[in-house]
Amino acid sequence: MGKKDHQAQKEKDRVQSVLELLKKQAPLTVKQEKYCSNACVERFLKGKGDSVKKAAKQLRNCLAWRDSIGTDNLIADEFSAELAEGVAYVAGHDDELRPVMIFRIKQDYQKFHSQKLFTRLLVFTLEVAIQTMPKNVEQFVLLFDASFFRSASAFMNMLLATLKIIADYYPGRLHKAFVIDPPSLFSYLWKGMKPFVELSPLTVVVSSLDYEESLEFNDLTLYPRAASLRFDSSSVASSAKLGSCSSSRFSFTVSHHFDSLKPWYLSFADTSASKVGPTNPSQAFSGPAISPLNARSYSFASPVARGPRGNIDVVRKGFFPSTPMPQKTQKLDASMIHHPRTPKPSFLRSPALFFRRDHAVQMSRVEKSRESFVPFLKFYRRPYDEMIYRSKMRPPLGGLISIVSPQLKRRHMSISQRF
């Protein structure tokens, strides 16, 4: 217990030293003092490796940036069009009560809106998510739906700007960021930019196609085109009628001649009545001569394999020698057999081996990234509801609706109490 108390006292001293440095540079306002709580200063210290000077400098820059953006004046009425379309919103909370935000920004959004407006929308969404956090939760999750982007560079610019804002002004807040269905060239750009992005270890690129439920081929009633091509079981009565199959659109028939180059053909007439197979009862014991399953293999087989099954003994006799092989009279010792030694690898190997990655390690990383996105898949597929999102906003972020609606409710209750 003594070590824990000593460590906690050190953390408190660092927090107080950061606050003292801030007050020496310039006096803090009431809102700034409220923002610079002990938990906030600890996040800045953790992001800068417990360096008091670096944490104080970053916190001062954050306060100046918040004043320039006007975070205290952000309300929902400024983003009425974005809220109606569901461009950026808080979808809910995960199992650890972390808020999950979804960004479905189109590529044309930045053409008709300035970068400052996008930054204000991002900050507004982050502030709403922070307001919905319980007391013991300090992190959130981001889901970037990149399927609306056609240009990989345009989405890269938006993603880098978002991650830089979170890293500089919201340190320690990001738990995980998922990039869903990015453009095809994004993976190559991201591989080059990854070492220079601070939050790259927390960013995962996933594809929604990897989580599609596998369709059962037997249940084709939902697909009329596939249902029309289904196999008609009434045309084939039993397994004795082997050699052809038919459906409502075409029939598959195998030729009677084994030496033909094309032992099967397609026709658009229903010829299910003509079946190829052993009709003589004396040949029934040898099994079916040919079927649709092995017709293609017979077309590329040798003349010996394509010969009649009744003469198989005659054909096999030519493969055995006329004189018998001598029997083994001497037993060989396994220790006397000298196998050739495997040459040792040389010191000078190919340069390509230095850049080779272990395939198993790479696959395990891909599987881990897929599994990490599974708990947030329900938020990605859940439809957007503007009223549910607005109900999570607290004044003054909620705008006039969140401010006026409690007063209207109280007035209604007071009038009802009179009667």
> For strand 99-103 and strand 140-145, is the pairing parallel, antiparallel, or unpaired?
parallel
Average pLDDT for 12-33: 90
pLDDT of residue 360: 53
Q: Render pLDDT for 387-411 as a digit per residue (tens, 0 to 9).
A: 999 999 988 787 655 444 444 444 4
Question: By mean pLDDT, which of 105-114, 121-130, 226-235 is the weakest?
Answer: 226-235
In whole angstroms, what is the distance from residue 77 CA to residue 401 CA?
Answer: 9
Mean pLDDT of the chain: 74
In whole angstroms, what is the distance from residue 397 CA to residue 166 CA?
Answer: 19
In whole angstroms, what is the distance from residue 90 CA to residue 101 CA?
Answer: 4
pLDDT of residue 367: 80
pLDDT band at 129 (very low <50, low <70, confident <90, very high): very high
pLDDT band at 213 (very low <50, low <70, confident <90, very high): low
pLDDT of residue 333: 62
Is the pLDDT confidence value at 105 over 90?
Answer: yes
In whole angstroms, what is the distance from residue 149 CA to residue 262 CA?
Answer: 50
pLDDT of residue 397: 80
Q: What percent of the chain has pLDDT over 90?
A: 46
The answer to whether the CB of 161 falls within 8 A of the CB of 127 is: no
In whole angstroms, what is the distance from residue 67 CA to residue 74 CA?
Answer: 11
pTM for the complete prediction? 0.62
Q: Render pLDDT for 280-323 as a digit per residue (tens, 0 to 9).
A: 544 544 444 444 444 444 444 455 455 555 554 444 444 445 55
CB atoms within 10 A of CB 172: 17
pLDDT of residue 101: 97
pLDDT band at 415 (very low <50, low <70, confident <90, very high): very low
pLDDT of residue 413: 40
Is the pLDDT confidence value at 235 over 50?
Answer: no
Q: Render pLDDT for 197-208 as a digit per residue (tens, 0 to 9).
A: 999 999 999 998
